[in-house]
Amino acid sequence: MKVTINDVAARAGVSIKTVSRVINNEPSVRPATRKKVMEAVAELNYQPNLAARNLAGTRSYTIAFIYDNPNAYYVIDMQNGILDACKARGYELLIHPSNSRSGAVHEELQDLVEHSKIAGLVLTPPFSETQSVIDTVRHLGVDYIRIVSSEAALEDEGNCIQVEDSAAAYDLTRHLLEHGHRRIGFLCGGEEHVSTYGRLDGYRRAMRTAGISLEEGLVLKGEYSFDSGVSGAKKLLQSDQPPTAIFASNDEMAAGALFAARLMNIDIPGQLSIVGFEDSPFSRQTWPKLTTAHQPNNEIAKCAAALLLSRTRGKGAESGSASKEAGIRREFTPELVVRDSSGPAPVEVMSDE
C-alpha cells in the first residue's frame, strides 16, 4: 500500500499541515518537529507527489532547462547536474530542447511560463548569450540563471555561472607552443556561441605572447560538430604550408580532425598534434586519446540549478548578495588534461627555426 502524507503525520504525531511545511522546506518549523517528521519520512520511505504539489498550491516546484546543443554528452551532463540539485531540494525538472535559429524560442518560453507553472529557468548557450532571449525572460518575470562564457556581456552578473574559455584556451595553446609547435591551426565553433570567441581569444593571446605572427589562414570558421572538424582539418592539412598542430574548439571537432588526419595517413602525434576542449567522452573514445581542457559540465549545471533554487526560495534575492548564496561556485576555468594526441613538433620543423 502506498504511504501517504496522513501516514507520515500519524507516525510523527503532528498535523498534515506541519508535514507539508517540512517537505516544502519552509522555515517556520521548529528543529525538533522537523527532525521528527523527517525521521517518519525515512522510516516509511515516503515520496511526495511533486506534480500534485505543483497543482495544489500557488508555489511551483519545477524548473526548466532550455537548450539547443548538438552534443548529446553536453546535454546529458547538464541534465544530470541540474537533476542532482533538484532532487536534493525536492524539485522536478522540465527539459525543453529548442532551435535557436528558428526564432520560436520566445513563444516557447512564454508558453512554458504561462502553462507549465515553472519556478525558474536554467539557460545554456546559445540562449543564455542571446540578448533577445534574456529580454523575453525578464519581461515574463520568471527567475533565471545563465550559464555563459566569461566573454559574454554580464550586466546581470548575479544571475550567471561563468566559464573561463579564454584562459583555458591560452593554456592549451601554450602547451603546444612549449612542444615546439609554431604553425598551429585553429578550428572555430559556431558563431552563435560566445565560447567560440573566448577560445579563439585565448589562442591568439598565447601566440602573441610567444612572439608569433598570427596567420589568419590558419583560423577556420566551423561548427561544434564532428563533420566540421573533418572538413576543417582537411582544408588545413591540404594547404601549401600545413600546420604541425590543430586546436579544435571542442572534442567532437577534434575527433573529426583526428579522423581526417588518419584518412591522409598522418601520424598522430608524430607528424601532427591535435587538441580539443571540454573533456567530453569523445576525448577518451579516440585513438590516441585527446589532449583537452576539462570542463566540469555536471558540476557547472548543479551550481546553476542550486543558485536558481536559492533564488526561488527568496534567499538573498532582495538583498542582492548573490555571491553569498549558499557558497555556490560562480566561475569555472577548464583545466588542461594532457593525453596522447599531442607531442613535440616534428624534428625537421624544429631544426629549421
Q: Are residues 343 and 216 in the same domain?
A: yes
In a domain, 307, yes or no: yes
With residue 72 as reference, give the H or E element that holds it. helix 72-89
Q: Are residues 159 and 171 in the same domain?
A: no
In a domain, 187, yes or no: yes
Q: Are residues 90 and 206 in the same domain?
A: no
337: which strand partners? 292
Q: Which residues of the chain have pLDDT under 70?
A: 1, 24-28, 47-59, 153-154, 313-326, 348-353
Q: In the chain, helix, strand, coil percent, each to 5?
A: 50, 15, 35
In a domain, 238, yes or no: yes
Task: Give me the helix-helix angle, 72-89 and 297-312, nearest 10°.
Answer: 40
In a domain, 53, yes or no: no
CATH no. for residue 36? 1.10.260.40
Q: Are residues 346 and 209 in the same domain?
A: yes
In a domain, 21, yes or no: yes
In a domain, 56, yes or no: no
Query: CA–CA distance from 93 to each of 87, 260, 325 (Å)?
Result: 9, 39, 21
Q: Are residues 245 and 155 in the same domain?
A: no
- Show the domain range for 102: 62-164+296-333
In a domain, 32, yes or no: yes
Q: Are residues 314 and 214 in the same domain?
A: no
DSSP β-ladder status, 292-294 and 335-337: antiparallel
Q: How many domains does the chain have?
A: 3
Q: Are residues 301 and 160 in the same domain?
A: yes
Q: Are residues 180 and 265 in the same domain?
A: yes
Q: Are residues 76 and 148 in the same domain?
A: yes
pLDDT score, position 353: 47
pLDDT score, position 59: 58
Q: Are residues 213 and 291 in the same domain?
A: yes
Note the pLDDT tens digit of each residue in 206-255: 999 999 999 999 999 999 999 999 999 999 999 999 999 999 999 999 99
In a domain, 184, yes or no: yes
Q: Report the distance separating Cα 351 and Cα 284, nearest Å.
A: 32
What does the buried/exposed string (b/e) look like for 109-143 if buried means 16 or more CB atoms within 10 Å of the residue's CB?
Answer: beebbeeeebbbbbbbbbbbbbeebbebbeeeebb
Q: Are residues 289 and 305 in the same domain?
A: no
Query: CA–CA distance from 339 to each of 160, 161, 263, 273, 287 (Å)?
Result: 32, 28, 21, 11, 10
Query: In this structure, what C-alpha cell is assigned to residue 181?
Result: 609547435
Other CB atoms within a 10 A radius of the CB of residue 32 amount to 8
Q: CA 226 from chain center: how many Å?
A: 19
Query: CA–CA distance from 113 to each of 58, 260, 302, 325 (Å)?
Result: 14, 45, 22, 25
CATH no. for residue 141? 3.40.50.2300
Other CB atoms within a 10 A radius of the CB of residue 161 amount to 26
Q: Are residues 250 and 308 in the same domain?
A: no
Task: Give me the helix-helix angle, 31-44 and 5-12, nearest 10°.
Answer: 120
